Amino acid sequence: MRVGVLGAGAVGAGVARHLQAVDAVQQIVVRDIRPSVETQVVADLAPDVVADGKRLGPLDVDVLVLATPVGFHVRQATKALERGISVVSVSDSLGDVQGLLRLRGLAEETGSVLVIGAGFSPGLTGVIAGHAAGRLARVDEVHIAKMGTGGPACARQHHRALKNHSLDWRDGVWTRRPGGSGRELVWFPSPVDAHDCYRAELPDTVLAVPCFPSAQRVTARVSATRRDRLTMHLPMLRRPHPEGLVGAVRVEVRGELASGGFGSIIMGSVAAPAVGAAATAATAVEWVTNKRVRPGGWGLGQLRDLAGFLHATEQRGVATELFEGLAEMAADPAPQIIDLRVPTTQSIQEHDERDDADLAGTAKKNQSR
């Protein structure tokens, strides 16, 4: 099969690199609006990766990966789907994702596959959420958070998302909340650890809600610094970095446990966001080329064998982690119950005896000094 990659930035180049190792992919055609970038990627990854030397016009491929900046994905996907080409989009723009969701019918009609939001977040977060939900009897809440940005286009999108309203799912209705509000200290896997995360215009909720019909609350947050929030309504004051440093995603799924009672399953992943997005998108392409995805439009959380998907991304260097402790406490069929009843005379007496013993011990220590 021939796979086309539109956009040879941090994510596109990574996808092309991963696809070299996929047996079903014979050739990868890269196209970028910047000739120097395209030439560099082809020089690094030849002979499997080639450039078609055109800036415009359709690509003669079987699967097309859209790794271009946000805003163009719907038009590019429409043209490809009309020609029966399967599409994998890594866009993390709410507008793009909503537009792509409207193309599901077209994908079904043409017998092609449309994978929507196949990046680090959305993308891997959807897979993790679906996988974590498998440990619950019923899902009540899904909370997604991400930290870090990939290439410059991703950094611009982060800035844009923060100043726009979020789209949260609350009690069965969509709710818009101002971006930059709703501070929450989110504990990501090490070495990222704790970061304050805020509401933003993120597409994760739109893709997650259809996967969890019983969910009453689905939210998505993104980490931001004070400078990000202070300047979010202004144009970007500094040129974005070429590629972000380490980032992370965290997914918390709450609901009814299979063993009874309620609890949370928390999973996450640490990687440079562009690396995570490339590994996820490459795995999605592999799934499509191996006919493991039915024709139509899908978020990654709707795929089958999510454990297999996570295993494949792990093989590409992006591992998933489980937060233990809280999850185990929740999974305990007989959790510890805090006794809030009025203390009995016996319990008060026992408490006083313990206090007396402590005081006696302290007095002995003081005397020995």
Partner 1 sequence: MVSGFHESAHTRSWDFRSAMIRSQADTVPVGPLSDTGAMGMIRRVVAALGLGAAVAAALRLKGSGGVPPQTGGWRNLSGPDQK
Side-chain half-sphere CA neighbours of 94 within 13 A? 18
Sequence letter at residue 207: L
A 10 A CB-CB count for 93 gives 23
Q: Using the rule CB under 8 A, is 194 a contact of partner 1?
A: yes
Q: Which is nearer to partner 1, 54 or 227 (CB)?
A: 227
Q: Which is nearer to partner 1, 68 or 166 (CB)?
A: 166
Q: Cβ of residue 21: shortest distance to partner 1, in angstroms?
A: 19
Q: Cβ of residue 61: shortest distance to partner 1, in angstroms?
A: 32
Q: Which is nearer to partner 1, 113 or 197 (CB)?
A: 197
- Residue 12 has φ and ψ, to the nearest 5°, of -55, -45
Sequence letter at residue 236: M
* Pattern 230-269, partner 1, x by CB under 8 A: x------------------------------------xx-
Which residues neighbour 135 within 8 Å (Cβ) at sequence distance 6 or greater? 257, 258, 265
Spatial contact of 322 and 266, defined as CB atoms under 8 Å apart:
yes
Which residues neighbour 227 within 8 Å (Cβ) at sequence distance 6 or greater? none
**Binding to partner 1 in span 282-321, by CB under 8 A:** 307, 310-311, 314, 319-321
Helix pair 73-82, 94-101: axis angle to 10 deg: 20
Q: Which is nearer to partner 1, 126 or 151 (CB)?
A: 126
Q: Using the rule CB under 8 A, is 189 a contact of partner 1?
A: yes
Q: Residue 62: name the closest of 113, 118, 99 by CA.
A: 113
Spatial contact of 67 and 74, defined as CB atoms under 8 Å apart:
no
Q: Cβ of residue 365: shortest distance to partner 1, in angstroms?
A: 28
**Binding to partner 1 in span 68-127, by CB under 8 A:** none
**Binding to partner 1 in span 144-183, by CB under 8 A:** 183
- Residue 3 has φ and ψ, to the nearest 5°, of -115, 130
Sequence letter at residue 179: G
Given the rule CB under 8 A, which of 10-18, 57-65, 223-231, 338-346 is the region that contacts partner 1? 223-231
Among 229, 246, 256, 262, indicate the residue that binds partner 1 (CB under 8 A).
Answer: 229
Residues at the contact surface with partner 1, assessed by CB under 8 A = 131, 183-185, 187, 189-190, 194, 196, 226, 229-230, 267-268, 307, 310-311, 314, 319-329
